[in-house]
Every structure is written in structure tokens, then in C-alpha cells.
Chains A and B, each alone.
Chain A
């Protein structure tokens, strides 16, 4: 059974790129949901079963850090693995994200990197060929 994934990024281009990369990665996919803001992400989480969330950090309104904190504080969502997809390079800021129990994928990224990170995070052993 495929993974239901939530992509939260204010850039429609980046959401499309992440979705395309997931398609190419060989990760077994179920439904892929897209949200353009933190609040939209929360609304989707309440409406659909999500196995994994891919979240951008710099977003207007509720940013990625606030969204992660809301997820971690909610018993219904706190178990959901979160991957931050960001161009952030500051080890200081990446460190504060990792303290929240998230994994970080740096932009730009490849399908191979996405598959490797998700497999490690979920303890999966997917075939490398899409």
C-alpha cells in the first residue's frame, strides 16, 4: 500500500517539483496532498489520513516551524514523520529543526536522495528502480 503524503510549500512550483521527484523516486505512493500554507496543511491533516509530511520552512502566515510545533503538540498528529524540505544552510537553524524530531532535505534534491531519506526514516527497503 502506498504512502499518503502531504506537501506544504507556499511555492506551487516547488510543490510540483517535490511531487514529480516523489513520482520518480520509486517510493510507493498513495495520495499526495498539497497545501500552500501552514494553515492549509493543518486543515488537510484533519481531513485526510497522512503517513508523512514534507514541509517548507519559510512561508507567509503560519511558517513551517509553527506548523511542526502544532503537529508535535497534537496527540492526533504527533506521530507523523516530518521531513523539512528547505534551502536553509545554517547549521544553527537546522539544529533547532532537528531538535523537533524532523529530518531535513536540502534544496536542490534528487529522487535518489528523497528515496534514501524516506526509506531510512520509515525503515523501508524499497526497490531502487521506480
Chain B
């Protein structure tokens, strides 16, 4: 199985580009991406299957507005209701999670995904054991992704 951190970053980048038209900006070598600036919104998708866990996508408010407007084809970010913004972020998290599991587990295993849950704020500061995370610097701002693996995928897929 490929390293989850690397796969998480690759899949998230691809889905953010193709689904939400949000593009990465190259970072200077050795420079760390800044943490997303509050207020933040997080969408979480839980999954169960050969291995279980959850994927969280956390974005700052301005990124959320742009993400939703892009997906809905709106020019004006203010035209987008809060409910629509949460729905858009939930859909992004759902598509990232599905595609991520397909790469991590291969094509055969079946996973059940719950409906995305959105909330204001970021996930707990102390990540659960088995969490892999990545931070992407987009033109619109920073996005944090955290994949909590409650069971060891390597052991589960043996």
C-alpha cells in the first residue's frame, strides 16, 4: 500500500482542482505552509469497511466561499448561502474520501461512507492516534486534511 500521507495530498489536490477549481500554489523550498486562518469550517466523512476511520477537510471561511461559488458556477461569492457552502464542502470531502479509499485499498474492497457532517471550527488540536494529515496551500488560502485510521490498513488488507 502507498504511504497514506502522500496519497492524501495527491488525491486532495486532484479533487480540489477538478471538482472545485481550486489550484495549488508552489511553495518555496523549505518554507512551511501557513495554518488556515480562523474562522474555519470542517467537513468530516466517516467510513467503515476493511479498515475504518474518518476524513476531515478544514478550510477558512474565504476559501469555503470561493469553493462553493466555483462548484455552483456563481461569480459572486455572496450569492451562496451558508447551507450551500456547507453542502459544497461536504461533497468535496465525500469525493476525496471515496477516491482516497480507492487508491489506499485498491479497487475491490467495499466501504460504507456516512453522509458528510459539517461544523464550525477545526478538529481537535491533539490528533487521534493513527492520524495522517496534510496541508495544501491554494491560491485561495490554506486547506488542512486529516485522515484518522482507526484500524491498520496494512493489517486489514493482508
Measured CB to CB, the residues of A under 8 A from B are 10-14, 16-17, 20, 58, 60, 86-93, 107-108, 110
Contacts and interface: CB of A to CB of B under 8 A. Distances in A.
Given A107-B19, A108-B18, A13 B95 contact: no
Nearest to B109: A90
B41 interface: no
Interface size classification for chain B = 20 to 34
A90 B73 contact: no
B19 A11 contact: no
B48 to A, nearest CB: 13
Contacts, number: 60
B158 to A, nearest CB: 18
A108 B95 contact: yes
Nearest to A89: B102
A13 B107 contact: no
A89 B94 CA distance: 12
Nearest to B86: A13
